[in-house]
Amino acid sequence: MQHPGLQLEWNNSRPEQRQALDNFYRSIQNMQMQEQAMQRMERQQRLEQLRSMSPEQRQQQFLNFVQQQQLPPGR
């Protein structure tokens, strides 16, 4: 969407434009790294939870998972 009379030239030749773009890319990378760290922590917590269960509890959890996968779509 363009606004009349508003024009922006972006060619990274100006230091403030280059810095703004660098900051933008850096923020995206930081968000991705934080997301990956959160996923690792969640997996680690899940593993610790499974390890602390008795074999019977793990078996029941597995059976529940299998039953959920067999439900018809939409349920």
Q: What is the pLDDT of residues 7-28, one digit of tens each?
A: 766 677 788 888 998 999 999 9
Mean pLDDT of 41-50: 94
Domain spans of the chain, in order of start: 15-69
Is residue 17 exposed (0-12), middle (13-18) or buried (19+ Cβ within 10 Å)?
middle
Q: Quick check: 35 pLDDT over 80?
A: yes
Backbone angles phi, psi at 38, to 5 degrees: -65, -40
| Least confident window among 2-6, 27-31, 55-59 | 2-6
pTM: 0.52
